[in-house]
Structure 1
Amino acid sequence: MQYFVVMIDYGRRGREAIVDPELTRREVVSRVASGEYTNVSFIHEIAGCSVEDVTDDILSEAGLPEIPLTGAELQANTLDHVRDRRKHEPV
């Protein structure tokens, strides 16, 4: 059995893993290219007992450029991490 796991990152709203055994590689590429899957964190291909990260391959097949994180995004990630750590501090 072979299937794909597409992890979508919604920022502060959380993440969503899309797992559909009926999706083919071509359909995943098509959905990424059409914009149906945006903010993709990673795409894993599960085949039998092995897992392979195919994110870069599928994004390049879909024709999307790889966009590095900017300074503002890195700062936002740090602030989110600090905020999350404060939530778990003893009161």
Structure 2
Amino acid sequence: MQYFVVMIDYGRRGREAVVDPEITRREVIARIGSGEYKNISFIHEINDQAVQDVTEEILAEAALPEIGSTEADLQANRFDHARDLRKHETV
């Protein structure tokens, strides 16, 4: 049997362990990505009798990809360069 334990920290109000054998790894990742699970203390994967801390792995998988500013500015730079070339053309 395999399942995940997601420990959520509510600060002064305490902590809650979400344990549901029906939830898969993919579903845990989806819930983190959607914001349903916030302030996670740890995520443990229970497989038969072994416990493994998979917090870092799952949080990394759930992280939204960040678009670097250089990638977003490439098209703008190309347009600026084309405009500069047109300004210096001979008529």
TM-score, with structure 1 as normaliser: 0.69
Partner of 2:62: 62
Alpha-carbon distance between aligned partners in 1 of 2:34 and 2:55, rounded to the nearest angstrom: 16
Unmatched tracts of structure 2, length 5 or more: 65-91
Partner of 1:26: 26
Amino acid at match of 1:63: A
Partner of 1:38: 38
TM-score, with structure 2 as normaliser: 0.69
Alpha-carbon distance between aligned partners in 2 of 1:38 and 1:27, rounded to the nearest angstrom: 15
- Identity level (%): 73
Partner of 1:4: 4
Alpha-carbon distance between aligned partners in 1 of 2:41 and 2:63, rounded to the nearest angstrom: 16
Q: CA RMSD in A?
A: 1.3
Which structure's CA Rg is the greater one?
A: 2
Q: Deviations over 1:9-33 (max 9, x none)?
A: 0000000000000000000000001
Partner of 2:16: 16
Unmatched tracts of structure 1, length 5 or more: 65-91
Alpha-carbon distance between aligned partners in 1 of 2:55 and 2:33, rounded to the nearest angstrom: 13
Alpha-carbon distance between aligned partners in 2 of 1:54 and 1:34, rounded to the nearest angstrom: 19
Alpha-carbon distance between aligned partners in 2 of 1:13 and 1:21, rounded to the nearest angstrom: 25
Aligned positions, number = 65
